[in-house]
Amino acid sequence: MNAIIKAVYDVISGPKGQERDWDRMRSLFVPGARLISARAGKDGATTAHVMSVEDYIRLGGPMLQKDGFFEREAHRTEDRYGNIAQVFSTYESRHSTDAEPFQRGINSFQLLFDGQRWWVVTIYWQGETPSFPIPKQYGG
């Protein structure tokens, strides 16, 4: 489980101008996996922006490469039952490894163990805001 979560953070992280290893990204997820961001709209309502792995690569890839992006895990809580797990992974996002974080939030990973390895089924995340600071139990 540690290796698969670390691999997700590693594959999306890199300096400005560096193409990410999208084949590695694809290899971490089950077929049909989803990446979902919870976003507040201008009207204040929160909606779910649902993406496939290919959508994430197409939409997020250019931004990651253009600006440089490094995301690391700052705290983790895990719940596991049999071959499924739910992990709250508090993240910090930076444009370079030595910069202050420009964003923090929580990635909610849903994972499946197939008897040989862990797979990502869903990553569902929300960035920290003044209205929703990260609680102490999640590293806030």
40 pLDDT exceeds 90? no
Identify which has the larger pLDDT, 21 or 44.
21
pLDDT on residue 4 = 98
Q: Identify the structural domains of the chain with CATH numbers, from first to last.
A: 2-138 (3.10.450.50)
| Confidence bin at 44 (pLDDT 50/70/90) | confident
42 pLDDT exceeds 90? no
Residue with structure tokens 């499946």? 112
pLDDT on residue 41 = 84
pTM greater than 0.85 (yes/no): yes
What whole-number distance in Å separates Cα of residue 1 and Cα of residue 87?
A: 9
Condensed to tens digits (0 to 9), the pLDDT of residues 88-135 reads 999 999 999 999 999 999 999 999 999 999 999 999 999 999 989 999
Q: Give the contacts of 6 (CB within 8 A, at least 6 positions apart).
A: 73
Angle among Cα 122, 133, 124 to the nearest 5 degrees reads 5
